[in-house]
Amino acid sequence: MRRSLFSPSNNLPYTSTWNLMKEFDEIFNDFANASPAITGEFQTHYQPHSEVKETDAGYLMSFDIPGVKESDIKVEFNDRVLKVHGERKSESKVEKEGFFRTEKTYGRFERAFRLPENVDENKIEASYSDGVLQVYLPKEASKATKTISVATGSKNLFEKLLGKKEESH
């Protein structure tokens, strides 16, 4: 059974990442839910629901953003932070017709996740279909540890490389 990268379990190697993700979410929640008295406007931000999974090959992320046009979605990766942001624009203004209740969210959205250092940023892929944005962040190929043989002999390595005898200190 594969665990989520951001599982709150304390025995995972990425516990500090989990704590950082919680801090990111709190920062963005505070910003997105700021009081209209403070911002001078009513709330225009929301956070789409997301999933983050780790596989042996990389990280799979999905974001539920139905009703958003592909051209209104931006995906950026910088300094290990994946940022997804954009805007769901209102389809039309209804005048003279009343609603008892509306639960559709319009306005700007933003999510940001700091990922481990092993993301290969040159191979990140994203696709959007049926209101779900999927982002694949592959891991860099791990480099095997190279064993270096230690030569023995009378010739000094620096002397061999530089062609002259090193001064003793």
Residue extents of the structural domains in the chain: 15-142
pTM: 0.56
| Pairing verdict, β 107-114 and 45-46 | parallel
CATH code linked to domain 15-142? 2.60.40.790
* pLDDT tens string 94-137: 556 676 666 677 789 999 999 999 999 999 999 999 999 999 99
Residue with tokens 């480099």: 143
- List, for residues 130-154, the tens digit of each pLDDT value: 999 999 999 998 766 678 888 777 6
Over residues 150-165, mean pLDDT: 74
